[in-house]
Structure 1
Amino acid sequence: MEKEVITKNMVINDVIKKYPKTITVFSKFKVDACCGGGFSIEKTAGASGIDMNSLLTELNKVVAASGK
């Protein structure tokens, strides 16, 4: 089964639920996965001025490396 690509339009909580190891990436980038978790990656990370390309690259690396 091919793994899904994480995009900026995905909801943070949905990504974490499907790929639990991504929580470490959100934490590393200081993305609010608690209060901001109900919003898209773009909305929450963008509000904090986080580099979206770097964040998405790291998230997708974790997904590709994970068994799930």
Structure 2
Amino acid sequence: MQQITKDMTINQVLKLYPSSIAVLNKFNLDACCGGNRTLEQAAKEDKAVLEELLSTLNKTIS
């Protein structure tokens, strides 16, 4: 299974792991119109802690 990284876009993550939408919603990330942003960009713009986001996403898919 591929690990989710900060350089993946929201759309890439959702395509590979549709259940990750719950995590994105928990962190208040725009997964609709902002789907072309990398996780790093989205975390910065939406004021989420990147390390916590990545950790939670990777725990969810493991």
TM-score (norm 1): 0.86
Unaligned runs of 5+ in 1: none
| Mapped pair 1:39 → 2:43 | no
Shift of 1:44: 1.3
Aligned-residue identity in percent: 44
Q: Partners in 2 of 1:32 and 1:6 — Cα distance?
A: 17
Larger Rg: 1
Shift of 1:34: 0.7
Q: How many residues align?
A: 62
Question: Where does structure 1 differ by over 3 angstroms across 4 or more consecutive aligned residues?
Answer: none
What letter is aligned with 2:21?
I
